Amino acid sequence: MLSNAMFDVINSDLSRLEDTLLEAVTAPDELVTEVGTHLVTSGGKRLRPALCLLSAHGGPAFDLEHTLPLATALELIHTASLVHDDVIDKADTRRGAPTANAKWDNKIAILAGDFIFARAFHLVTAGGYGDHVSGRLAWLVGNLSVGEIIQDKEMYRASRDEADYYNRIQKKTADFLEICCELGALVGGMKKEETDALAQYGHDIGMAFQITDDLLDVSQTSEQIGKPVGNDIRQGIITLPVLRALHESDDRDELLTIVTNPQMTNDDVNRALEIVKTTDGMEFAKGKADEYLAHAKAILPANLPADIRDAYEQVADFIGDRDF
Amino acid sequence: MLSNAMFDVINSDLSRLEDTLLEAVTAPDELVTEVGTHLVTSGGKRLRPALCLLSAHGGPAFDLEHTLPLATALELIHTASLVHDDVIDKADTRRGAPTANAKWDNKIAILAGDFIFARAFHLVTAGGYGDHVSGRLAWLVGNLSVGEIIQDKEMYRASRDEADYYNRIQKKTADFLEICCELGALVGGMKKEETDALAQYGHDIGMAFQITDDLLDVSQTSEQIGKPVGNDIRQGIITLPVLRALHESDDRDELLTIVTNPQMTNDDVNRALEIVKTTDGMEFAKGKADEYLAHAKAILPANLPADIRDAYEQVADFIGDRDF
């Protein structure tokens, strides 16, 4: 979970959320319940439901019981999407816990992912938010899948178009955080103008979140991030610091040769990281992330309750400073 | 598609459906559209949307434009579920066409399945049927996943409890056909009593459909069904004729030893089929299917338009006689 102090205003809501998540994955079959429970208790940060709850709190019609099914559904969609990602990536662990495909098998993991997606939609329909809210979530799930298919196609291609990069991370992360803020504001009864502003806030911190994630892949040690450094490069994914280096470095041809080679060795990855670090790639990416975060804070509606505004600002600061 | 004569009353609706299916899988990305198009044009029988359209036609408020998104969503859910099944089963072909995992890879197939599920939910929310209809579909998808996980757990276990068998095929097939009839009737404006009767009809023909499917696995040649005979036995799935033989055959111990052995050989499978054929297992299963079909026809609401009633009866007869 995210740092408690940041979310004083929704701390008790977030502990209720742990219960509603467990309820949501309880099935008539023991094994299904066991898989679902493992997945929702394996250390998520709960950023998406937290954003939804914060936005709902900021509205004049906030009602926790009315908001919880939506917040729960958002975390379930995130969970289901990670479960399928782990099958695709043949990942053994996530956040230090075994993945569903490792602990059980691909069959169970694929079906458990489908089950969790389905439970998310069941929750929002039972929440009675109407077709618009369910439709936005359906759009989101489709968009996440399309985003991953596009990312897959672009692997080892090293498009040097910055717009492609921003389009990809929007689909991968920013659209999701945008919808969390937008739908939270909607069910909290905010006016359209405020809802739109919070949606923009969600988009902005989502872009910053993904850029920061990409940065950590270059800047951290493998102990710090719990996975090999340069993992994105190894997987053929071009991140912003690398993109910058492909434009700016004197060794750009060497870098391009490495990052477009699916058979790159560990030495190649280390050399690529070295080249990136001799450029301003990391500062450039950090600067972009900071721009998004400054814009996110600036666009917060003026009439938000002070404690909610504080929390939003702390989330933005946290994303800029995070080192995990 | 199903035989044309059977569906005279909805033939033009079904050709519209082909268009709405293609529209539904059209994405901003070419590859996604290509995969989706391949999947929805690879020879489905369209039984689910046909049942939905028939039920809607039977109602006083039938409106084709209002019904099509629902009918399309039902076929999409079926398609997405088959796409994930094919990944799980490592299947190369389905209905004579290459599967998505064979033509592309597991990653594309898993993500395309998620995308198609999402599009189905997006269509129903855009159709404006309200939370109840979307909720029923979400329940259905969850139920299908749980059913498959249960089937997986029971593999090679050879439970001799007939109730387990019926419970499994209900989750696998009957609940789906039930929901097609039920929701079609709902959006066609039928009264509760008629809607319930058509839901029961859907359940009954669904049970008969799956029993007949199971029968074909025992009775047909591999040329007729386009897959190896005894495939269910090979996969550790106990079907009704086998279940009957496990109770009635003098060789039941030998049969049990074979069907609970995950390493069974082709000779073992052939011997198991031989044992089943010396019992009344096939007649017993055929009898059960016929009972369900008779009940399905008997429960049709008395006040259905004659052409709709005819079509329902023909669907039931078709399921009893089908040889594919």
Q: What is the DSSP string of B172-212?
A: IIIHHHHHHHHHHHHHTT--HHHHHHHHHHHHHHHHHHHHH
pLDDT digits (tens, 9 = 90+) for A37-80: 999 998 788 999 999 999 999 999 999 999 999 999 999 999 99
Largest CA distance in chain A: 61
Kindly state the percentage of chain A with pLDDT values over 90.
84
- d(CA A49, CA A45) in angstroms, rounded, equals 9
Instruction: Name chain A contacts of B100, Cβ cutoff 8 Å.
Output: none
What does the pLDDT profile of chain B (324 residues) look like in tens digits?
A: 455 567 788 999 999 999 999 999 999 899 999 999 999 998 788 999 999 999 999 999 999 999 999 999 999 999 999 999 999 999 999 988 999 999 999 999 999 999 999 999 999 999 999 999 999 999 999 999 999 999 888 899 887 789 999 999 999 999 999 999 999 999 999 999 999 999 999 999 999 999 999 998 898 877 776 667 888 999 999 999 999 999 999 999 999 999 999 999 999 999 999 999 999 999 999 999 999 999 999 999 998 999 999 999 999 999 988 765
pLDDT digits (tens, 9 = 90+) for A193-205: 999 999 999 999 9
Query: What pLDDT score does B46 carry?
Result: 94
Q: Which CATH superfamily is domain B13-321 in?
A: Farnesyl Diphosphate Synthase (1.10.600.10)
- d(CA B176, CA B199) in angstroms, rounded, equals 10
Instruction: Name chain B contacts of A29, Cβ cutoff 8 Å.
Output: 146, 149-150, 153
- d(CA B181, CA B201) in angstroms, rounded, equals 8
- d(CA B74, CA B29) in angstroms, rounded, equals 23
Q: At B261, list the tokens.
A: 């052995």
pLDDT digits (tens, 9 = 90+) for A116-145: 999 999 999 999 999 999 999 999 999 999
Q: How far is A311 from chain B (nearest CA, A)?
A: 32
Q: How far is A37 from chain B (nearest CA, A)?
A: 15
- d(CA B113, CA B35) in angstroms, rounded, equals 10
pLDDT bracket for residue A8 (50, 70, 90): confident
- Asked whether the beta carbons of residue B145 and residue A29 sit closer than 8 angstroms, the reply is no
Kindly state the percentage of chain A with pLDDT values over 70.
97
Query: What pLDDT score does B95 carry?
Result: 86
pLDDT bracket for residue A2 (50, 70, 90): low
Say whether the ipTM exceeds 0.85: yes
Q: Considering only residues A224 and B58, tell me which one the structure prediction assigns the higher pLDDT.
A: B58
Helix H or strand E segment including A8: none
Q: What angle do CA B107, B111, B112 make, to 5 degrees?
A: 110
A280-290 mean pLDDT: 96
Provide the residue type at B60 as one letter. P
Query: What pLDDT score does B160 carry?
Result: 77
B35 with B167: CB under 8 angstroms? no
Alpha helices, DSSP H, located in chain A: 11-24, 30-40, 47-57, 64-88, 100-103, 106-127, 131-154, 162-169, 175-187, 192-219, 222-225, 231-234, 240-248, 252-259, 266-277, 281-298, 306-321
One DSSP character per residue, A168-182 reads HHIIIIIHHHHHHHH
Q: How far is B114 from chain A (nearest CA, A)?
A: 7
Shortest CB distance from B29 goes to which of A128, A135, A149? A149
Q: At A227, list the tokens.
A: 């996975």
- Residue in B35, B117, B121 to test binding to A, most A beta-carbons within 10 Å: B121
Place of tokens 């991370």: A169
Check pLDDT > 60 for residue A324: no
Sequence spans of domains, chain A: 11-321
- Asked whether the beta carbons of residue B146 and residue A28 sit closer than 8 angstroms, the reply is yes
Query: What pLDDT score does B223 carry?
Result: 73
Instruction: Give every CB contact of residue A251 below 8 A, 6+ residues apart in sequence.
Output: A275, A278
- What is the average pLDDT value for chain A, to the nearest integer? 93
- The nearest alpha carbon in chain B to A120 belongs to B138
Sign of CA dihedral B288, B289, B292, B295: negative
Q: How far is A255 from chain B (nearest CA, A)?
A: 27
Instruction: Name chain B contacts of A32, Cβ cutoff 8 Å.
Output: 145-146, 149
- CATH class of residue range A11-321: mainly alpha
- Asked whether the beta carbons of residue A118 and residue B142 sit closer than 8 angstroms, the reply is yes
Alpha helices, DSSP H, located in chain B: 11-24, 30-40, 47-57, 64-88, 100-103, 106-127, 131-154, 162-169, 175-187, 192-219, 222-225, 231-234, 240-248, 252-259, 266-277, 281-298, 306-321
Query: What pLDDT score does A235 carry?
Result: 92
Three-state secondary-structure class, residue B94 = strand
- d(CA A225, CA B200) in angstroms, rounded, equals 55
Q: Considering only residues A168 and A3, tell me which one the structure prediction assigns the higher pLDDT.
A: A168
- Asked whether the beta carbons of residue A115 and residue B88 sit closer than 8 angstroms, the reply is no
